[in-house]
């Protein structure tokens, strides 16, 4: 997915000598066909264990936990500071971020502070969710694209935008939105959805994911298990979806079809009757994470890619229930691999809390290691052993 900078490879060479190069992408799906079941894993060899153990040995527990955090930054100095001091795994560039980081090629300073390749992430869907329109030009919303151009043409347009993003230094796009929705254009999902037809959503989302990968970026589909028929906006309060059995026929279809696409998955702050417990949205729900991981509960192949949370600090569906430290703990303990929030202020406090959870056994060290390895593979760090 992403070419690891040579300077970082040199740092990692000692710990990765047992690993061969390459990415860990699964085969892409095509069109609206469902992803085939994953083959049974081969027995783990001692060489594989040596390889992953060697990679993990370079980190302290705190540094492992830091690799599972992606935080919003205001600009280059903020990003460089939090990366240098805590070695977080990713930074998020929002509408509040100084675009000089990109336009003046300042990301090199930030990446130089990282011991491990850094994710540089953004929300770039097109339409009204676009952070880069002034730098790479505007793009239509997902709904307009699906109504006006073929999936093949959408793929070509998306490859060009992906290459422009990569040239700026972006490595991961938190897109596409694979929610299935017939809501008005200006509602919380609305025109961010390709269609109210899950097969059309699958077709165009597949084209976008392939385009990002072909441009050298990671893609993250959202908002599992489906926000398109939610009761409101999780930025402003709790959101209730239809019951899980109803979502099987509509909302979950694109996730089922694209689970083998190589994209990451972002889990939304959604209360799902028949799945999540009362007051525990999907983003911090062990049941929601297990549904995605195991697949059988919605007729999909098991998923072993990275699970991201939606923003944990700026959305009332979470913040009305708990503070950022508890939210990150709840998300990772539930089974997420990467906790996302929109400022760097609380990073050290969050890591203090996470270290305590590991020491006291509530966040198993094996679970942390598995998440670190998933994130490394998603970044394209050579991990074939």
Catalytic residues: 235, 310
CA distances 154 to 19, 126, 207, 295, Å, are 37, 12, 7, 29
| Largest CA-CA distance found in the chain, in angstroms, rounded | 55
CA distances 314 to 69, 71, 325, Å, are 15, 12, 13
Contact yes or no for 191/125 (Cβ under 8 A): no
Partners of 280 in the β-ladder: none
3-state secondary structure of 313: coil
Rounded Cα distance between 56 and 320, Å, is 36
Q: Count CB atoms within 10 A of the CB of residue 36.
A: 10
Contact yes or no for 308/337 (Cβ under 8 A): yes
Contact yes or no for 163/215 (Cβ under 8 A): yes
Written as six digits, the tokens of 204 are 């165009």
CA 110 to chain centre: 20
Rounded Cα distance between 134 and 385, Å, is 42
Contact yes or no for 10/375 (Cβ under 8 A): no
Rounded Cα distance between 138 and 244, Å, is 36
> Which residues does 46 contact at the CB level (< 8 Å), separation at least 6?
none
Taking the CA atoms of 103, 109, 111 and 112 in sequence, report the sign of the dihedral they define. Answer: positive
Contact yes or no for 120/166 (Cβ under 8 A): no
Rounded Cα distance between 64 and 178, Å, is 30
Rounded Cα distance between 295 and 285, Å, is 15
> Which residues does 56 contact at the CB level (< 8 Å), separation at least 6?
64, 369, 372, 373
């Amino acid at each position: 997915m992403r070419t690891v900078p040579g300077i970082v490879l040199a740092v990692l060479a000692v710990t990765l000598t047992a690993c061969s190069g390459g990415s860990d992408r699964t085969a892409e799906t095509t069109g609206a066909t469902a992803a085939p079941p994953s083959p049974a894993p081969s027995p783990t060899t001692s060489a594989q264990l040596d390889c992953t153990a060697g990679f993990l040995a370079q980190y302290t527990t705190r540094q492992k936990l830091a690799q599972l955090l992606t935080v919003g930054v205001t600009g280059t100095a903020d990003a460089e500071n939090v990366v240098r001091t805590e070695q977080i795994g990713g930074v998020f560039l929002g509408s509040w971020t100084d675009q000089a980081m990109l336009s003046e090629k300042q990301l090199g300073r930030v990446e130089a502070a990282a011991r491990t390749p850094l994710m540089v992430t953004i929300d770039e869907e097109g339409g009204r969710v676009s952070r880069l329109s002034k730098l790479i030009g505007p793009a239509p919303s997902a709904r307009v694209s699906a109504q006006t151009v073929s999936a093949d043409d959408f793929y070509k347009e998306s490859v060009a935008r992906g290459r422009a993003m990569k040239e700026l230094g972006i490595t991961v796009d938190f897109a596409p939105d694979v929610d299935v929705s017939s809501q008005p254009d200006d509602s919380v999902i609305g025109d961010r959805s390709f269609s109210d037809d899950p097969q059309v959503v699958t077709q165009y989302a597949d084209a976008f994911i392939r385009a990002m990968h072909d441009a050298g970026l990671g893609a993250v589909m959202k908002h599992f298990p489906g926000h398109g028929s939610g009761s409101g906006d999780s930025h402003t309060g709790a959101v209730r979806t239809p019951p899980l059995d109803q979502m099987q026929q509509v909302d979950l279809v694109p996730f089922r079809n694209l689970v083998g696409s190589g994209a990451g998955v972002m889990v939304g702050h959604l209360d799902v009757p028949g799945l999540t417990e009362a007051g525990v949205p999907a983003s911090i729900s062990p049941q929601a994470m297990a549904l995605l991981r195991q697949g059988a509960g919605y007729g999909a192949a098991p998923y072993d890619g990275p699970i991201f949370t939606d923003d944990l600090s700026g959305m009332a569906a979470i913040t009305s229930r708990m503070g950022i430290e508890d939210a990150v703990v709840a998300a990772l303990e539930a089974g997420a691999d990467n906790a996302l929030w929109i400022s760097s202020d609380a990073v050290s406090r969050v890591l203090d809390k996470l270290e305590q959870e590991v020491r006291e056994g509530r966040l198993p060290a094996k679970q942390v290691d598995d998440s670190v390895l998933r994130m490394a593979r998603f970044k394209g760090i050579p991990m074939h052993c």
